[in-house]
Every structure is written in C-alpha cells, then in structure tokens.
Amino acid sequence: MPRYTPDEAIYVEGPWTHRDISANGARFHIVTAGTGPTVLLLHGFPTYWWTWRKLIPQLAAAGYRVVAMDLRGYGGSDHPPRGYDMFSLSHDVAGVIRSLGVRNATVIGHGIGG
C-alpha cells in the first residue's frame, strides 16, 4: 500500500470526485460518487472522509449520489478558530445539503458525525 503525505491522503484518487463547497460561512471538502437520491456521510473523531472509502462505491453502485464530507476542522475543510459545537455542526450539514442543490438527504454518521 502506498504511503501518502497528510495532504495527499485527503485528496487520494479513487472512484469518486473531490470538490470544495461553501456552507455556513466555511469551506468544506467533499467527495462525491454516483447519481440518484443523496446520501451524506459524516465521519467521527479524529478521522475524515476516508473513513467511508469502502462504502462510497457500494452505495454509488446501489443507485445513490454519495457525498462524504470533511467536518469543520478536519481533513481538507476549513479549520476556523471556533464553531466546533453541535449547533454549528448541524448548521454546517444543513448548509452543505443546500449547497448540493437538494432539499434533503439521508444522513449517515458515527461519533461526532452521528
């Protein structure tokens, strides 16, 4: 298995697309794959989107638009000085869903992302 620098690990290539979107006053790194109803995957502490690397292609193959985001302060997302509370996290998630251009999404998370 190849070794990656931290920045390379965030943007590792695979059957997904990387992009940044703005929501709730911050920039969030997301990984997307597939088409269909949106499923948003939220990682726990102290990981990032990579937690979902095995599930992303499976959900995409099952007919879903899969989005795995790096939460505020993790991975390729902004690391602002504040906003690391559940209230801000819920607004971040709602803002990301709106920025994706959908009205709703199925949200799957664990740890702080749950």
pLDDT averaged over every residue in the chain: 94
pLDDT tens digits, one per residue of 36-76: 999 999 999 999 999 999 999 999 999 999 999 999 999 99
- Look at residue 9 in the predicted model and tell me its pLDDT: 87
Nearest residue to 28 (alpha-carbon basis) of 18, 37, 36: 18
Q: What is the mean pLDDT of residues 8-14?
A: 92
Distance CA 55, CA 53 (A): 6
Show Cβ contacts of residue 80 under 8 Å, excluding neighbours closer than 6 positions: 26, 72, 73
Query: Full-prediction pTM beyond 0.95?
Result: no
